[in-house]
Structure 1
Amino acid sequence: MKVIYSEEVIEFLSDLMEILYIKNYFGFMDSAINYVKDLVHEIDTTIASKQKKTAPDYFSKYGRGLFYVCYKKSRNTQWYVFFHYENDVYYIRYIGNNHNISQYL
């Protein structure tokens, strides 16, 4: 199994570290960095064992034939990871959370 992140997702994750700190979700930059690193590690190590669902048409702007899985990181936040899967490769196309995309699922 291999997990590959699109350039857009890599940029999003990099920005997310800063956003989490600037918006005071975390009091220390190191904590925000570790949160994102933990999310990526969890994706890398468990995506194959997660129950994947077919992504709704709304998400076709990130690619056709997408699937998604969920990662609950706290009582208030669940992350949705959208990907293509082929030949044992997960190509991550988009990551969003329940605060900004749950109405489309």
Structure 2
Amino acid sequence: MERKIIFSTNIEAYLKELVDILYEKKYFGFEEDTRIYVQEIVEFILHYDFKVNVRKTDKNFKMFGSNFIKYKANNNTSWYIFFDQRGNQFLINHILNNHSHDFPDLL
């Protein structure tokens, strides 16, 4: 059976909003660079095999998904992608980074 990645409606909206947030906060000098950065997060998820480096979500974060993976975007920022799995279907429920106020709880 072929692997299927599904982004929740909330995640789709968040990723679109993330482009604006990162650009407005001047993390990037050009809006196109911001779009590329967010697209790289999406590409990482779409091409991840979900067989290695998958971690079980702590009980404090179960509302986001039963598992998560880590994407290291650069030396300063890592993204945590929460998902639920049913067979070869992966529902991406939530994404946060190490700059989030929730991050210390993931350690």
Q: Identify whether the pair has TM-score above 0.5, normalized to the shorter chain.
A: yes
Q: Distance in 1 between matches of 2:22 and 2:58?
A: 27
What is the aligned partner in structure 2 of residue 79 from structure 1? 79
Residues 32-47 of structure 1 aligned to structure 2 (within 5 Å): 32-47=34-49
Superposed CA offset, 1:49-86 (max 9, x none): 431111011112335xx100000001010000000011
Using the size of structure 2 for normalisation, the TM-score is 0.90
Q: Distance in 2 between matches of 1:19 and 1:57?
A: 29
Identity %: 32
Superposed CA offset, 1:26-51 (max 9, x none): 01111101100111001100142431
Q: Which runs of 5+ in 2 are unaligned?
A: none
> What amino acid does structure 2 have at the position aligned with 1:41?
E
Q: Quote the RMSD (CA, aligned, Å).
A: 1.2
What is the aligned partner in structure 1 of residue 90 from structure 2? 90
Instruction: Classify the secondary structure of the residue corresponding to 1:75.
Output: coil
Structure 1, 50-59 or 10-19: larger mean CA deviation: 50-59
What is the aligned partner in structure 2 of residue 54 from structure 1? 56
Q: Does 1:27 align with 2:29?
A: yes
Q: Distance in 1 between matches of 2:52 and 2:19?
A: 25
The 4+ residue runs of structure 1 with deviation greater than 4 A are none
Is the Cα–Cα contact under 8 Å of residues 55 and 67 in structure 1 kept in the other structure?
Answer: yes
Would the alpha carbon gap of residues 20 and 47 (structure 1) be closer, same or farther in structure 2, given more than 3 Å must change?
Answer: farther
User: Offset at 1:104?
Assistant: 1.4
> What amino acid does structure 1 have at the position aligned with 2:104?
Q
> What amino acid does structure 2 have at the position aligned with 1:51?
N
Instruction: Classify the secondary structure of the residue corresponding to 2:94.
Output: strand
Q: Distance in 2 between matches of 1:7 and 1:45?
A: 20
User: Offset at 1:87?
Assistant: 1.3
Instruction: Classify the secondary structure of the residue corresponding to 1:99.
Output: coil
